[in-house]
Amino acid sequence: MEASHSLIETEAWRQLDTVCDPEIDTVTIIDLGMVDKVLVSDNKVSVDLLPTFLGCPALGIIKENVIKAIKLIDEVKEVEVNYIKNPPWTSDRITSKGREGLKVYGIAPPPLKLENDGTWKVECPYCGSPYHSVENIFGPSACRSILYCKNCKNPYEAMKPISTMN
Ligand SMILES: [Zn+2]
Protein backbone atom coordinates (compact mmCIF):
# COMPACT_ATOMS: atom_id res chain seq x y z
CA MET A 1 0.00 0.00 0.00
CA GLU A 2 1.25 3.45 -0.84
CA ALA A 3 1.94 5.84 1.99
CA SER A 4 -0.22 8.92 1.88
CA HIS A 5 1.18 12.29 0.94
CA SER A 6 0.70 13.66 4.40
CA LEU A 7 2.75 10.83 5.90
CA ILE A 8 5.59 11.52 3.46
CA GLU A 9 5.31 15.20 4.26
CA THR A 10 5.54 14.58 8.01
CA GLU A 11 8.54 12.33 7.46
CA ALA A 12 10.15 14.96 5.21
CA TRP A 13 9.88 17.61 7.95
CA ARG A 14 11.38 15.12 10.39
CA GLN A 15 14.32 14.54 8.04
CA LEU A 16 14.79 18.27 7.47
CA ASP A 17 15.21 18.68 11.21
CA THR A 18 18.36 16.51 10.96
CA VAL A 19 20.03 18.82 8.42
CA CYS A 20 22.35 21.15 10.30
CA ASP A 21 23.97 24.35 9.28
CA PRO A 22 27.32 23.16 7.80
CA GLU A 23 29.20 25.66 9.93
CA ILE A 24 27.12 25.80 13.09
CA ASP A 25 26.29 22.17 13.80
CA THR A 26 24.15 22.92 16.85
CA VAL A 27 21.29 24.30 14.74
CA THR A 28 19.21 22.67 12.02
CA ILE A 29 17.75 24.43 9.01
CA ILE A 30 14.35 24.23 10.71
CA ASP A 31 15.77 25.91 13.83
CA LEU A 32 17.05 28.68 11.56
CA GLY A 33 13.64 29.14 9.97
CA MET A 34 15.04 28.35 6.51
CA VAL A 35 12.32 25.92 5.43
CA ASP A 36 9.36 27.66 3.84
CA LYS A 37 7.43 24.83 2.18
CA VAL A 38 7.44 21.09 1.64
CA LEU A 39 5.31 19.86 -1.26
CA VAL A 40 4.66 16.22 -2.02
CA SER A 41 3.30 15.04 -5.36
CA ASP A 42 3.35 11.33 -6.19
CA ASN A 43 6.83 10.20 -5.18
CA LYS A 44 8.43 13.57 -5.55
CA VAL A 45 9.21 16.01 -2.73
CA SER A 46 9.90 19.69 -3.39
CA VAL A 47 11.42 21.80 -0.65
CA ASP A 48 11.48 25.58 -0.71
CA LEU A 49 14.28 27.08 1.35
CA LEU A 50 14.93 30.70 2.24
CA PRO A 51 18.62 31.61 1.97
CA THR A 52 19.96 33.22 5.14
CA PHE A 53 22.95 35.53 5.30
CA LEU A 54 25.09 32.38 5.00
CA GLY A 55 27.61 32.30 2.20
CA CYS A 56 26.94 30.58 -1.12
CA PRO A 57 29.13 27.51 -0.41
CA ALA A 58 27.04 26.77 2.67
CA LEU A 59 23.84 27.02 0.65
CA GLY A 60 25.16 24.45 -1.84
CA ILE A 61 26.08 22.06 0.97
CA ILE A 62 22.69 22.50 2.63
CA LYS A 63 20.93 21.75 -0.66
CA GLU A 64 22.91 18.51 -1.10
CA ASN A 65 22.29 17.48 2.49
CA VAL A 66 18.54 18.14 2.17
CA ILE A 67 18.40 15.93 -0.93
CA LYS A 68 20.31 13.15 0.86
CA ALA A 69 18.12 13.37 3.97
CA ILE A 70 14.81 13.29 2.09
CA LYS A 71 15.97 10.40 -0.11
CA LEU A 72 16.23 8.31 3.07
CA ILE A 73 12.43 8.13 2.97
CA ASP A 74 11.59 4.88 1.15
CA GLU A 75 8.65 6.17 -0.85
CA VAL A 76 10.51 9.19 -2.23
CA LYS A 77 11.97 8.82 -5.70
CA GLU A 78 12.79 12.41 -6.53
CA VAL A 79 13.79 15.47 -4.49
CA GLU A 80 13.84 19.03 -5.65
CA VAL A 81 15.28 21.88 -3.58
CA ASN A 82 14.68 25.50 -4.50
CA TYR A 83 16.04 28.61 -2.86
CA ILE A 84 13.38 31.28 -2.93
CA LYS A 85 13.64 34.96 -2.04
CA ASN A 86 10.02 35.59 -1.24
CA PRO A 87 9.17 35.66 1.62
CA PRO A 88 12.58 37.02 2.59
CA TRP A 89 14.37 35.31 5.46
CA THR A 90 14.48 37.38 8.62
CA SER A 91 16.35 36.66 11.83
CA ASP A 92 13.11 36.48 13.83
CA ARG A 93 12.37 33.22 11.97
CA ILE A 94 15.02 31.57 14.15
CA THR A 95 13.12 29.41 16.66
CA SER A 96 13.76 29.49 20.40
CA LYS A 97 15.46 26.10 20.03
CA GLY A 98 17.60 27.65 17.31
CA ARG A 99 18.51 30.58 19.55
CA GLU A 100 19.62 28.12 22.24
CA GLY A 101 21.62 26.17 19.66
CA LEU A 102 23.46 29.31 18.58
CA LYS A 103 24.36 30.06 22.21
CA VAL A 104 25.72 26.53 22.68
CA TYR A 105 27.98 27.25 19.72
CA GLY A 106 29.07 30.54 21.33
CA ILE A 107 27.09 32.85 19.09
CA ALA A 108 24.83 35.55 20.47
CA PRO A 109 21.48 35.15 18.68
CA PRO A 110 20.21 38.21 16.84
CA PRO A 111 18.42 40.64 19.16
CA LEU A 112 14.64 40.44 18.82
CA LYS A 113 13.98 44.14 19.18
CA LEU A 114 15.56 47.56 19.05
CA GLU A 115 16.29 49.36 22.30
CA ASN A 116 14.54 52.68 22.92
CA ASP A 117 17.65 54.58 21.83
CA GLY A 118 17.71 52.74 18.48
CA THR A 119 20.61 50.42 19.26
CA TRP A 120 20.72 46.64 19.44
CA LYS A 121 21.45 45.01 22.75
CA VAL A 122 23.52 41.86 22.40
CA GLU A 123 23.85 39.49 25.32
CA CYS A 124 26.82 37.21 25.94
CA PRO A 125 25.85 33.63 25.01
CA TYR A 126 27.78 32.30 28.03
CA CYS A 127 26.73 34.53 30.92
CA GLY A 128 23.98 36.77 29.50
CA SER A 129 25.85 39.98 30.25
CA PRO A 130 25.09 42.87 27.86
CA TYR A 131 28.54 44.43 28.47
CA HIS A 132 31.04 43.85 25.71
CA SER A 133 34.11 45.47 24.23
CA VAL A 134 32.73 47.00 21.05
CA GLU A 135 30.17 49.76 21.03
CA ASN A 136 29.20 50.06 17.40
CA ILE A 137 29.01 46.37 16.76
CA PHE A 138 27.56 46.04 13.30
CA GLY A 139 29.19 47.95 10.49
CA PRO A 140 27.22 48.60 7.30
CA SER A 141 28.31 45.36 5.61
CA ALA A 142 29.16 43.07 8.52
CA CYS A 143 26.52 40.53 9.42
CA ARG A 144 28.59 39.00 12.20
CA SER A 145 31.11 40.51 14.56
CA ILE A 146 33.43 39.30 17.29
CA LEU A 147 32.85 40.76 20.74
CA TYR A 148 34.57 40.30 24.08
CA CYS A 149 32.40 39.91 27.14
CA LYS A 150 33.45 42.29 29.91
CA ASN A 151 31.90 40.04 32.53
CA CYS A 152 33.12 36.49 31.81
CA LYS A 153 35.96 37.61 29.46
CA ASN A 154 34.98 35.17 26.73
CA PRO A 155 35.06 36.20 23.09
CA TYR A 156 31.90 35.49 21.17
CA GLU A 157 30.28 36.10 17.83
CA ALA A 158 27.14 38.14 17.42
CA MET A 159 24.67 37.91 14.57
CA LYS A 160 23.10 40.98 13.07
CA PRO A 161 19.33 41.09 13.26
CA ILE A 162 17.76 41.02 9.80
CA SER A 163 14.26 42.30 9.55
CA THR A 164 11.93 43.45 6.82
CA MET A 165 10.46 46.09 9.10
CA ASN A 166 13.12 48.74 8.65
ZN1 LIG B 1 29.91 36.66 29.31
pLDDT tens series, the chain, 166 aa: 455 788 999 999 999 999 999 889 999 999 999 999 999 998 999 999 999 865 667 899 999 999 999 999 999 999 999 999 899 899 999 999 999 999 999 999 988 887 888 777 899 999 999 999 876 666 666 677 889 999 999 999 988 887 765 4
* Rounded CA separation 76/88 (Å): 28
Going from the Cα of 128 to the center of ligand 1, the distance in angstroms, rounded, reads 6
Rounded to the nearest whole angstrom, what is the distance from the C-alpha of residue 159 to the centroid of ligand 1?
Answer: 16
Same domain, 77 and 103: no
Does some domain include residue 24?
yes
* Tally of structural domains, the chain: 2
Whether 88 maps to a domain, the answer reads no
**CA-closest candidate to residue 29, choices 62, 58, 57:** 62
Output the CA 156–ligand 1 centroid distance in Å.
Answer: 8
pLDDT of residue 145: 83
Yes or no: say if 67 and 79 are a contact pair by the CB < 8 Å rule.
yes
Evaluate whether 16 touches 29 at the Cβ level (below 8 Å): yes
Q: Is there a contact between 3 and 75 (Cβ–Cβ < 8 Å)?
A: yes
CB 79 within 8 A of CB 71: yes
pLDDT (0 to 100) of residue 1:
44
Q: What's the CA-to-centroid distance between 163 and ligand 1, angstroms?
A: 26
79 and 121 together in one domain: no
Plot region of 33 (φ>0 → left; ψ -120 to 50 → alpha; else → beta): left
pLDDT at 135: 60
The alpha carbon of 131 and the centre of ligand 1 are apart by a number of angstroms equal to 8
CA of 158 to the centre of ligand 1 (A): 12
The model's pTM:
0.85
Q: Which pLDDT does position 21 carry in this prediction?
A: 92
Ligand 1 centre to CA of 77 (Å) is 48
| H and E: helices and strands count for the chain | 3, 6
Residues β-bridged to residue 144? 159
Report the CATH number that the domain containing residue 42 is assigned in CATH.
3.30.300.130
Domain that holds residue 157: 96-166
Phi, psi (deg, nearest 5) at residue 21: -60, 130
Distance 111 CA to ligand 1 centre (A): 16
Distance 147 CA to ligand 1 centre (A): 10
Name the residue type at position 76.
V
118: amino acid identity, one letter: G
* Preceding amide of 87 cis, omega within 30: yes
Same domain, 70 and 105: no
The identity of residue 72, as a single letter, is L
Distance 123 CA to ligand 1 centre (A): 8
Do 109 and 70 fall within a single domain? no
pLDDT value of residue 166: 45
**113 vs 23: CA distance, rounded Å:** 26
Tell me the CA–centroid distance for residue 117 and ligand 1, in Å: 23
pLDDT score of 119: 78
121 CA distance to ligand 1 middle (Å):
14
The confidence score (pLDDT) of residue 115 equals 81
